[in-house]
């Protein structure tokens, strides 16, 4: 769009204005900034007249060509106000004071028309479609001249008198010309007479600046003081006049009332140029009429805010505003305004017209009745009507007034619902009472009668209710619960039924909902589906079944069939984007009314159309970015058709900006584009009109761009640019061929030079070869002789090296037999080895019983042979368990685990080795009765290990732990493995051990001793206790690498039990806890539990009777509390402690375990029932119960036992297999005892 102003020539692309102005010393600028007229030629150039001459601009290139006296010496005048082209394409230019210049652009000649029939004060110039030239004067004369323009003829004016100055001509039809004058619009027919264009008085005497013919029956007129007029002629010659003028209270009105130009673009958008700027509107979208606040109260409202509507039988419209009531009387097209006498401001929220003389009004302070006598003389009366009982104030907001029947009205208010008699004003009030059939809580804003004449009400707090009338004419209310809907999230603001069985609900925040009255389910439509806003104020249906919604962001039209929304905003002619609650109505003529914060809109839905014109795309700019800089270069602009652009390979960062020719609502224009050859799919742009391409490879591309108007119409044909990015010269075909030729030539030259050089060298070499051959022959004999001598010497050296290597290997093997490998390597590399400290080492001593006596009875050679046999077997065994042999002293054999390589499991491995040594001696004794007896002792602790001294190296260990291990051996018995308490702490979970008492140690006090009977049966192969099975090593790994420190946790609770359990607890003593812990471990392993669940079971066993430290009965909760306080310190998680709680709880009698772990726990707790020590343990329980007064006699005890044993069951297969049979025998024994009845009490 090109727009001429007093301050330059403006180019508008829908997004921004570019202003072209006069610039000093710039030939490609305007002659002057004051532009009077614009005229396109047949070559798409734009001509314009200014205050300093004429010029034309090429819109594609922006090049400006000036028409001045230098190029056209005969040109007259400076200020050019009108331009026209004749049939020879000569330019006619009307100057302000020097007549008309006829300019021939071919030979640059100029003819001057200074007067026509004695008149020289020309004011208007125009060429019609037949290329007839029309000239108007300041005195109202009208002349015309058809081609070849030899003579001008004056139009007769016989009856109209002086027309005043002619401002403009406009063609109405082929033989009709509109003349715009200072005294009105006139019409010339058939080039004969001039008549009035319209019979409307307000136009006949108005100053008409300009005119535009939309079609012969629609004429637009721009006036100097009264804005814009549209004159519509019908087939019978009658006319309708529409006036568009500036309303300071309506932002959608004309910008100024002085309209100086009118233009319709190719898409049907009308542009009106005024003294204060430009106004535009889409002629296809003029269905929305806005009525708002007006300086003339007869033509509009007295306030912006509209809150309610009603219509009477005469089709008069009643509008409720923030300042009382406005009434539009259709027959006289005039507004009347009704005010309350108190003179204060009141919101009129609801209106019901009983008759044109009797109107019910619902204000924000109560219910009123308006009785009209004569509006022309403001003769009316308003009185207050009470509609609630004395307990409730009637001075509250009235939201709805709906007829109940011929005599009664429903009144919805902030307090509830009333029904009132229209004649005697008797009323009945309904409010929420909490009973089943009462109305819900909250305000009643909606009273609605559906297609089946059922009445519905909506309360703000409780939702939708159906009103049912009783036989006594009273009503009760049935709540209608809606699925998938929360009244607190989105109150119902409006109700509409368009078909039976369904109801449309407008909500405050949840959009539009379609309610199925049978299933009570809803289908929701929100902003995500195209609704303009989720806050809905009103719902209306038009004659085509389309649903119209007023929202917080414009109007939306919903098609229930396609489920598609069409949205309208203030740019489409709405009063504003925000509407008000209850401000909607459908009139008897099918017109829709919606009120908002800036007046109200009235429209016929059938006249709300879309702009059908597909937009065209203009590529407004092509910008090239220079790599490595911020420099940008505009290389093309205003491209409307196919264009070719050729770029260098380095010019591959390109930006394109495009605009659409549809100016109806350019901000909603969408684009899709594709750079063919670079991408496969179209890219869509929303709210953006620019695209950038970076580092585009060389090649040929075609940019294709489509535009979509705000009405959803896509371009029919795209705009495209053919872009060629040339490759760099080193990738061109000619460069490659040239490079190949150069390489071939260089290769040939190098080859020839090389051949010549080789020939010369060959000659020199032949001469040199002859000389050298003689020398080589002579020296060859000498070399052969020398070679024989060298080979003899080499053979001697290799023999000596072989002997040395064998000796070295023997020495290294001997060293490894004496010292650990690491120590040996250190001695070899450094010459000495540093002694090291080890915190945890297990030392094993063996000693043959009665060796001194044996030595006396045997020959030394036989004695040594026997010792060698034993010690060799011991060597095999300790090597199997990666132990380090330290030394032998006489008949004593000493080894250690955990040196020189540290490990956590050394105590276990040393005990396994000891058991295997002991087993070896036992098995040998069975075959050879003369086999010596052996004592074995083990201790675990800290030592110092290494090699000391410079000669006779020997690896040894020192420390109190070594002495204690020897003491264990000395205090042991033949055939057993004796271990210290230190070692016992490491091996207790894996081996069966028997406590042997304490011994005195040097400097360390008393030391506990244990004999190791063997590996626990469940952890050994075949249960023999000698060889570990797979479960053994799983349990070892569990103890060594689990995050739970079970051993410390066990010692903690055992210490508490040992010190705090009552001595009167004979059964529930610490021994019972130990017994259950051992039993649960045994059963768990038999049941395949080898992970951390084993620790949970054992921990539960240690805590299950810990509650006895505080009370005797029902003490499981105490044990659980202690577990929660103590176990987290030792790595137990919250979830693991929860499991332990369940295990402890499961031991309550009667037992009812629910998990496998709980079954194991329960079986372990009563494991003794099926053991050989049953009677001993049961007797402890008997004595304990008698001690605590829980048992009266021994016979009663046996009776209790029989009942308990019969009811008891083992849960796990391992316990059943291990204990069930024995338990049954115990039952028989007790039954026999009861039969004998040999009891003292």
- At 817 the pLDDT is 54
pLDDT tens for 567-595 read 988 888 898 999 999 999 999 999 999 99
**Separation of alpha carbons 597 and 678, rounded Å:** 51
pLDDT tens for 35-78 read 999 999 988 899 999 999 999 999 888 899 998 888 888 999 88
pLDDT tens for 1184-1214 read 888 888 888 888 888 898 999 999 999 999 9
Structural tokens at position 62: 């922006």
Query: Where is pLDDT greater, at 104 or 623?
Result: 104
Backbone angles phi, psi at 1225, to 5 degrees: -70, -35
Question: Region 773-785: what's the mean pLDDT?
Answer: 79
pLDDT tens for 174-218 read 889 999 999 999 999 987 888 888 887 778 788 999 999 999 999
**1109-1116 LR contacts (CB < 8 Å, sep 24+):** 1109/1056, 1109/1057, 1109/1060, 1109/1061, 1109/1062, 1112/1188, 1116/1144, 1116/1145, 1116/1147, 1116/1148
Closest by CA to 16, choosing from 667, 617, 553, 622, is 667
Query: Where is pLDDT greater, at 827 or 1091?
Result: 1091
**Separation of alpha carbons 528 and 509, rounded Å:** 13
> 877 vs 880, 968, 1031, CA distance in Å?
5, 20, 22
* Residue 565 CB neighbours (<10 A): 18
Read off the pLDDT band of 297 (50, 70, 90). confident
Q: Name which of 312-321, 389-398, 829-838 the model is least confident about.
A: 829-838
pLDDT at 100 over 90: yes
Closest by CA to 138, choosing from 81, 85, 213, 191, is 81
- At 805 the pLDDT is 66
- At 505 the pLDDT is 94
Can you list the alpha helix ranges (DSSP code H) found in 1149-1190? 1156-1165, 1174-1187
Closest by CA to 261, choosing from 197, 199, 177, 170, is 170
Question: Region 1219-1231: what's the mean pLDDT?
Answer: 91
pLDDT tens for 387-425 read 987 777 767 899 999 999 999 999 999 989 999 999 999
- At 211 the pLDDT is 96
Helix (H) or strand (E) holding 47: strand 46-50
pLDDT tens for 419-464 read 999 999 999 898 888 888 889 888 999 999 999 999 999 998 888 9
- Where do we find the tokens 């009139």? 587
Residues 443 and 435 sit within 8 Å (Cβ to Cβ) = no
- At 836 the pLDDT is 85
- Where do we find the tokens 């709300």? 608
CA torsion through residues 543, 546, 550, 555, sign: negative
Phi-psi category of residue 625: left, alpha or beta, with phi > 0 → left and psi -120 to 50 → alpha: beta
Question: Region 310-339: what's the mean pLDDT?
Answer: 93
- At 399 the pLDDT is 95
Query: Where is pLDDT greater, at 81 or 1037?
Result: 81
Question: Region 698-723: what's the mean pLDDT?
Answer: 88
pLDDT at 824 over 70: no
- At 808 the pLDDT is 58
Question: Region 119-130: what's the mean pLDDT?
Answer: 93
| % residues pLDDT > 90 (the chain) | 44
**Separation of alpha carbons 222 and 261, rounded Å:** 7
Residues 605 and 542 sit within 8 Å (Cβ to Cβ) = yes
Q: What angle do CA 321, 327, 328 make, to 5 degrees?
A: 120
Question: Region 837-859: what's the mean pLDDT?
Answer: 89
Structural tokens at position 897: 């685990």
> 978 vs 828, 844, 857, 924, 984, CA distance in Å?
39, 10, 28, 20, 10
The burial class, CB within 10 Å (0-12 / 13-18 / 19+), for 654 is buried
- At 818 the pLDDT is 54
pLDDT at 1237 over 90: no
Domain layout of the chain by residue ranges: 198-287, 617-731, 734-818, 837-1031, 1043-1236
**Separation of alpha carbons 912 and 176, rounded Å:** 125
pLDDT tens for 690-701 read 898 888 888 889
Rg of the chain over all Cα atoms, to the nearest angstrom: 57
pLDDT at 355 over 90: yes
- At 288 the pLDDT is 85
> 312 vs 95, 137, 316, 357, 593, CA distance in Å?
60, 54, 6, 10, 14
Residues 466 and 449 sit within 8 Å (Cβ to Cβ) = no
* Residue 304 CB neighbours (<10 A): 20
In CATH, the number for domain 1043-1236 is 1.10.3210.10
What does pTM read for this prediction? 0.54
Label the pairing between strands 719-725 and 643-647.
parallel
Phi-psi category of residue 461: left, alpha or beta, with phi > 0 → left and psi -120 to 50 → alpha: alpha
Question: Region 952-971: what's the mean pLDDT?
Answer: 85
- At 831 the pLDDT is 54
| % residues pLDDT > 70 (the chain) | 96
End-to-end CA, the chain: 123
Question: Region 4-12: what's the mean pLDDT?
Answer: 92
CATH architecture of the domain with range 837-1031:
2-Layer Sandwich (3.30)
Query: Which residues, including other chains, have CB under 8 Å from residue 1163's CB and lie 6 or more apart?
Result: 1079, 1083, 1210, 1211, 1212, 1214, 1215, 1219
- At 811 the pLDDT is 53
- At 547 the pLDDT is 96
Closest by CA to 409, choosing from 349, 465, 350, is 350
- At 1240 the pLDDT is 79
pLDDT tens for 1061-1111 read 998 899 999 999 999 998 988 898 888 888 888 889 989 999 989 999 988
The burial class, CB within 10 Å (0-12 / 13-18 / 19+), for 971 is middle
Partnered with residue 887 across adjacent β-strands are: 894
Partnered with residue 419 across adjacent β-strands are: 410, 428
**Separation of alpha carbons 1079 and 1070, rounded Å:** 14
Read off the pLDDT band of 800 (50, 70, 90). confident
Q: What is the DSSP string of 93-116?
A: EEESSS-EEEEETTTTEEEEE--B
- At 106 the pLDDT is 87
**Separation of alpha carbons 921 and 919, rounded Å:** 5
Backbone angles phi, psi at 13, to 5 degrees: -110, 15
**Separation of alpha carbons 535 and 533, rounded Å:** 6
Partnered with residue 430 across adjacent β-strands are: 417
pLDDT at 1010 over 80: yes
3-state secondary structure of 11: strand
Query: Where is pLDDT greater, at 801 or 686?
Result: 686
**Separation of alpha carbons 540 and 47, rounded Å:** 51
Q: What is the DSSP string of 1048-1107?
A: HHHHHHHHHHHHHS-TT-SSSSHHHHHHHHHHHHHHHHHTT--STHHHHHHHHHHHTTGG
Read off the pLDDT band of 252 (50, 70, 90). confident
pLDDT at 96 over 80: yes
pLDDT tens for 1153-1181 read 999 999 999 999 999 999 999 999 999 99
In CATH, the number for domain 617-731 is 2.60.40.10
**Separation of alpha carbons 1190 and 986, rounded Å:** 41
pLDDT at 951 over 60: no
- At 709 the pLDDT is 87
- At 843 the pLDDT is 95
Question: Region 985-990: what's the mean pLDDT?
Answer: 88
**Separation of alpha carbons 25 and 755, rounded Å:** 73
- At 799 the pLDDT is 75
């Amino acid at each position: 769009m090109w727009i001429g102003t007093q301050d330059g020539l403006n180019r508008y692309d829908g997004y921004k204005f570019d202003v072209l102005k006069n610039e000093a010393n710039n030939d490609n600028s305007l002659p002057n900034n004051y532009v009077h007229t614009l005229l396109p030629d047949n070559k798409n150039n734009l001509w314009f007249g200014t205050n300093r001459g004429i010029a034309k601009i090429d819109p594609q290139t922006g090049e400006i060509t000036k028409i001045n006296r230098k190029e056209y010496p005969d040109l007259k005048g400076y200020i050019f106000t009108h331009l026209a082209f004749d049939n020879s394409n000569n330019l006619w230019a009307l100057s302000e004071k020097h007549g008309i210049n006829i300019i021939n652009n071919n030979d640059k000649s100029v003819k001057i028309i200074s007067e026509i029939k004695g008149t020289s004060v020309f004011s208007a110039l125009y060429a019609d479609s037949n290329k007839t030239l029309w000239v108007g004067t300041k005195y109202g004369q009208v002349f015309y001249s058809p081609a070849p323009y030899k003579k001008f003829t004056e139009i007769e004016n016989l009856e109209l008198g002086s027309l005043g100055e002619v401002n403009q001509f406009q063609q109405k039809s082929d033989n009709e010309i509109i003349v715009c004058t200072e005294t009105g619009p006139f019409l010339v027919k058939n080039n004969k007479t001039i008549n009035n264009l319209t019979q409307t008085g307000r136009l006949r005497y108005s100053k008409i600046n300009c005119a535009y013919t939309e079609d012969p029956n629609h004429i637009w007129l721009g006036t100097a003081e009264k804005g814009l007029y549209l004159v519509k002629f019908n087939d019978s010659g009658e006319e309708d006049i529409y006036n568009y003028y500036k309303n300071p209270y309506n932002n959608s009105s004309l910008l100024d009332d002085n309209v100086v130009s009118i233009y319709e673009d190719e898409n049907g958008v009308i542009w009106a140029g005024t003294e204060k700027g430009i106004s535009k509107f889409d002629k296809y979208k003029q269905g929305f009429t806005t009525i708002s606040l007006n300086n003339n109260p007869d033509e509009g409202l007295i306030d912006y805010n509209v809150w309610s509507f009603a219509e009477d039988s005469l089709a008069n419209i009643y509008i409720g505003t923030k300042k009382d009531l406005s009434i539009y009387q259709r027959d006289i097209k005039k507004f009347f305004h009704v005010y309350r006498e108190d003179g204060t401001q009141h919101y009129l929220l609801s209106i019901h017209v009983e008759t044109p003389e009797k109107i019910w009004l619902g204000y924000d302070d109560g219910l009123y009745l308006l009785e009209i006598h004569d509006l022309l003389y403001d003769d009316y009366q308003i009185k207050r009507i009470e509609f609630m009982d004395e307990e409730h104030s009637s001075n509250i907001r009235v939201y709805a007034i709906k007829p109940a029947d011929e005599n009664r009205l429903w009144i919805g208010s902030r307090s509830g619902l009333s029904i009132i008699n229209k004649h005697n004003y008797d009323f009945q009030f309904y409010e929420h009472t909490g009973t089943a059939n009462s109305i819900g809580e909250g305000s009643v804003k909606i009273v609605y009668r559906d297609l089946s004449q059922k009445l519905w009400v909506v309360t703000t707090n409780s939702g939708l209710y159906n009103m049912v009338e009783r036989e006594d004419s009273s009503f009760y209310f049935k709540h209608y619960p809606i699925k998938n809907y929360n009244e607190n999230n989105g109150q119902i603001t409006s109700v509409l039924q368009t078909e039976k069985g369904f109801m449309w609900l407008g909500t405050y925040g949840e959009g539009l909902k379609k309610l199925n009255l049978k299933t009570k389910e809803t289908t929701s439509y929100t902003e995500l589906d195209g609704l303009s806003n989720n806050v809905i104020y009103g719902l209306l249906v038009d004659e085509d079944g389309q649903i119209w919604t007023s929202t917080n962001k414009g109007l939306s039209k919903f098609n229930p069939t396609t489920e598609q929304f069409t949205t309208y905003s203030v740019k489409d002619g709405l009063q504003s984007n925000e509407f008000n609650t209850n401000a909607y109505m459908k009139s008897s003529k099918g017109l829709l009314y919606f009120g908002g914060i800036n007046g109200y809109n009235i429209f016929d839905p059938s006249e709300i159309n879309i702009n059908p014109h597909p937009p065209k795309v203009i590529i407004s700019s092509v910008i090239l970015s220079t790599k490595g800089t911020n420099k940008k270069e505009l290389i093309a602009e205003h491209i409307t058709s196919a264009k070719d652009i050729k770029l260098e390979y380095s010019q591959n960062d390109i930006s394109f900006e495009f605009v659409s020719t549809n100016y109806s609502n350019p901000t909603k224009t969408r684009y899709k584009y594709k750079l063919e050859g670079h991408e496969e799919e179209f890219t869509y742009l929303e709210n953006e009109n620019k695209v950038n391409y970076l580092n585009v490879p060389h090649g040929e591309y075609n940019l294709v761009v489509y535009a979509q108007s705000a009405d959803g119409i896509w371009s029919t044909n795209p705009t495209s640019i053919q872009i060629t990015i040339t490759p760099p010269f080193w990738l061109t075909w000619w460069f490659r061929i040239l490079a190949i030729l150069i390489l071939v030539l260089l290769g040939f030259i190098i080859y020839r030079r090389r051949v010549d050089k080789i020939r010369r060298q060959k000659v020199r070499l032949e001469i040199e070869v002859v000389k050298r051959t003689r020398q080589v022959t002579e020296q060859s004999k000498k070399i052969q002789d020398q070679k024989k001598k060298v080979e003899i010497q080499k053979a001697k050296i290799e023999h000596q090296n072989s002997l040395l290597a064998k000796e070295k290997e023997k020495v290294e093997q001997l060293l490894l037999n004496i010292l650990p490998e690491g120590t040996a390597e250190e001695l070899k590399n450094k010459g000495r080895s540093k002694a090291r400290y080890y915190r945890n080492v297990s030392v094993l001593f063996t000693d043959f019983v009665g060796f001194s006596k044996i030595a006396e009875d045997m020959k030394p050679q036989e004695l040594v042979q026997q010792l060698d046999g034993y010690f060799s077997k011991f060597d095999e065994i300790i090597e199997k368990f990666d132990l380090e042999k330290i030394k032998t002293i006489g008949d004593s054999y000493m080894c250690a685990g955990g040196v020189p390589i540290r490990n956590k499991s050394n105590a276990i491995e040393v005990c396994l080795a000891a058991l295997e040594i002991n087993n070896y001696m036992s098995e040998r004794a069975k075959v050879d009765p003369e086999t010596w007896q052996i004592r074995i002792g083990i201790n675990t602790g800290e030592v110092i290990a290494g090699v000391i001294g410079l000669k006779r190296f020997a690896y040894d260990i020192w420390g109190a732990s070594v002495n204690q291990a020897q003491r264990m051996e000395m205090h042991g018995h033949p055939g057993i493995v004796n271990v210290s308490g230190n070692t016992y702490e490491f091996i207790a979970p894996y081996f069966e051990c028997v406590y042997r008492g304490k011994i005195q140690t040097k400097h360390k006090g008393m030391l506990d001793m244990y004999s190791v009977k063997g590996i626990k049966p469940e952890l050994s192969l075949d249960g023999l206790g000698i060889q570990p099975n797979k479960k053994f090593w799983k349990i070892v790994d569990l103890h060594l690498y689990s995050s739970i420190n079970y051993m410390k946790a066990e010692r903690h609770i055992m210490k508490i039990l040992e010190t705090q359990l009552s001595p009167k607890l004979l059964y529930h003593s610490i021994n019972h806890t130990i017994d259950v812990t051992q039993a649960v471990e045994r059963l768990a392993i038999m049941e395949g539990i080898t992970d951390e669940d084993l620790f949970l079971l054992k921990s539960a066993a240690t805590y299950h009777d810990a509650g006895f430290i505080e009370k005797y009965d029902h003490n499981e909760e105490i044990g659980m509390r202690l577990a929660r306080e103590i176990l987290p310190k030792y790595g137990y998680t919250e979830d693991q402690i929860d499991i332990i709680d369940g295990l402890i709880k499961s031991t309550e009698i009667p037992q009812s375990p629910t998990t496998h772990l709980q079954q194991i726990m329960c079986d372990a707790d009563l494991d003794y029932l099926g053991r050989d020590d049953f009677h001993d343990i049961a007797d402890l329980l008997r004595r304990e119960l008698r001690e605590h007064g829980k048992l009266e006699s021994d016979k009663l005890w046996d009776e209790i036992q029989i009942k308990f044993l019969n009811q008891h069951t083992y849960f796990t297969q391992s316990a059943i297999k291990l204990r069930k049979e024995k338990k049954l025998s115990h039952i028989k024994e007790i039954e026999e005892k009861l039969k004998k009845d040999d009891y003292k009490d």
